[in-house]
C-alpha cells in the first residue's frame, strides 16, 4: 500500500485521561486489543460493492449479543480481493474515527512503550489497532443528552427568564425529543419545555460553534450555570440517547439533578466537517448505536 498522509485518520474529540488509562491497562493485562475502533469512510460506491460481494458467502461468525445486536463476520483471504480493497482505501482522502478515540489513543501509547523496549517482543503487532470501517451514511448517531446538578443559585423562574434572552421558551405537554437543529428540550421542576435558540446566535460558518452541543454550552451551561469545562466539572453528567427522555426525567425526579436537556443528534456530516478542519467537538457530542461487541475479534500483541 502507498504511504498515507499523517492526517489520513481524523479525530473529532479529545480523550479523557482516566478512560484512556483504563484502556491502556486492559491492553497490557490481556496482551491484546479486544475492542475495535469504529471508523467511517466517505462515499465510495466501489468499496460498498466489493464488501457486499464478499459478504455473499457463509460468515465465519454470526452471533446476537445480549443487547440484541447481530454481529456477522466474513474473513477475506483472497489476495486479489484484499488488493482491490486496499487500493480503494488508499485512494480515500481520509478515514474518520466515529467511536473509539480512547481505544486508538491507548493503542498508540502501548505501541510507543513497546517500541522503546522492542527487544522484549517477538512480534510487532502492537504497531496496529483493530478497526471496523463503515460507509458514513450507514452510521446512526443518537443525541448525547445532559443533566445538571443545580441552577447555580437561580430559582426556576429566574433561570427560565435568563433563558429567554437567547431562546424562545415554550411549555411542552410531554417529553421533548428535538426534531431539528437549534431546538432543545428542558425538563425542570416536573415540567417539560421546548427551547428554540434565536437564529442570529448560530455561527453557521464555524463547524464546531454551530453544533447544538456547542450552542447549549455557549449560551446556557457556561454563561448561566457557570459550567465551563465539560470534561471535569462534576455538576454535569451525560445520558446517551439510547436511554430516551424517560431516563432524563428519572434523573431529575430522583432528586440528584436539577434539570435535564435533550438535544437533536449531531449529524455525521457535522463530525466530518469538524475533523476535516482539524478541530474537536465538545465532550460527549455523539452517541453511536449499535455498539460493536468487544472480543468478537481480537489482536494478540505477542
Rounded CA-CA distance 292/100 in Å is 10
CB atoms within 10 A of CB 221: 22
Say what the pLDDT of residue 1 is: 44
* The pLDDT value given to residue 119: 82
pLDDT at residue 6, as a whole number: 63
Residue spans of alpha helices (H) in the chain: 17-30, 45-54, 79-90, 101-115, 156-163, 212-216, 244-253, 268-276
| Averaged pLDDT, 43-61 | 93
In the predicted model, what is the mean pLDDT of residues 51-62? 92
Structural domains of the chain, count = 2
Euclidean distance between CA atoms 210 and 12, whole angstroms: 15
Clarify whether residues 107 and 183 are in a common domain.
no
Q: Are residues 163 and 67 in the same domain?
A: no
**128 and 149 both lie in a single domain:** no
| Mean per-residue pLDDT over the chain, rounded | 92
Query: What's the pLDDT at 289?
Result: 80
The answer to whether residues 193 and 111 belong to one domain is: no
End-to-end C-alpha distance for the chain, whole angstroms:
24
The predicted model gives 244-253 an average pLDDT of: 96
Percent of the chain whose pLDDT exceeds 70: 98
**Cα(10)–Cα(278) distance, integer angstroms:** 8
Same domain, yes or no: 171 and 126: no
What does the pLDDT look like over 166-206, one tens digit per residue?
A: 999 999 999 999 999 999 999 999 999 999 999 999 999 99
pLDDT at 233 over 70: yes
Tens-digit pLDDT profile for residues 87-116 = 999 999 999 999 899 999 999 999 999 999
Q: pLDDT category, 121, cuts 50, 70, 90?
A: confident
pLDDT band at 14 (very low <50, low <70, confident <90, very high): confident
Q: With a cut of 90, say whether residue 216 has pLDDT above it.
A: yes
Reply yes or no on whether the pLDDT at 4 is more than 80: no
Let me know if residue 1 belongs to a domain.
Answer: no
* pLDDT given for residue 153 in this prediction: 97
Same-domain status, 113 and 153: no
How long a stretch of residues is the chain?
302
Q: Is 183 in the same domain as 248?
A: yes
Range of the domain at 246: 144-264
Residue 270 covered by a domain: no
The CATH number of the domain holding residue 159 is 3.30.1760
Amino acid at each position: 500500500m502507498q504511504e498515507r498522509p499523517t492526517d489520513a485518520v481524523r479525530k473529532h474529540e479529545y480523550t479523557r485521561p482516566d478512560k484512556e488509562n483504563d484502556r491502556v491497562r486492559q491492553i497490557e493485562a490481556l496482551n491484546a486489543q479486544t475492542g475495535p475502533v469504529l471508523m467511517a469512510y466517505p462515499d465510495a460506491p466501489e468499496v460498498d460493492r466489493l464488501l457486499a460481494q464478499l459478504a455473499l458467502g457463509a460468515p465465519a461468525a454470526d452471533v446476537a449479543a445480549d443487547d440484541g445486536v447481530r454481529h456477522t463476520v466474513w474473513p477475506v483471504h483472497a489476495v486479489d480481493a484484499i488488493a482491490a480493497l486496499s487500493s480503494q482505501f488508499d485512494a480515500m482522502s481520509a478515514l474518520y474515527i466515529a467511536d473509539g478515540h480512547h481505544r486508538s489513543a491507548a493503542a498508540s501509547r502501548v505501541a510507543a512503550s513497546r517500541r522503546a523496549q522492542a527487544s522484549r517482543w517477538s512480534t510487532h503487532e502492537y504497531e496496529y489497532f483493530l478497526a471496523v470501517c463503515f460507509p458514513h451514511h450507514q452510521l446512526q448517531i443518537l443525541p448525547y443528552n445532559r443533566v445538571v446538578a443545580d441552577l447555580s443559585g437561580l430559582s426556576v423562574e429566574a433561570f427560565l427568564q435568563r433563558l429567554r434572552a437567547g431562546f424562545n421558551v415554550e411549555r411542552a405537554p410531554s417529553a421533548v425529543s428535538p426534531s431539528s437543529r437549534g431546538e432543545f428540550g428542558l425538563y425542570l421542576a416536573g415540567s417539560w419545555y421546548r427551547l428554540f435558540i434565536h437564529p442570529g446566535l448560530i455561527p453557521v460558518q464555524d463547524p464546531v460553534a454551530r453544533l447544538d452541543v456547542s450552542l447549549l454550552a455557549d449560551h446556557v451551561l457556561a454563561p448561566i450555570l457557570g459550567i465551563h469545562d465539560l470534561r471535569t466539572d462534576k455538576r454535569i453528567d451525560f445520558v446517551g440517547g439510547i436511554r430516551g427522555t424517560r431516563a432524563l426525567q428519572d434523573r431529575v425526579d430522583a432528586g440528584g439533578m436539577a434539570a435535564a436537556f435533550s438535544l437533536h443528534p449531531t449529524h455525521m456530516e457535522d463530525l466530518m466537517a469538524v475533523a476535516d478542519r482539524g478541530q474537536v467537538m465538545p465532550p460527549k457530542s455523539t452517541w453511536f448505536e449499535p455498539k460493536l461487541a468487544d472480543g468478537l475479534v481480537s489482536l494478540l500483541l505477542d
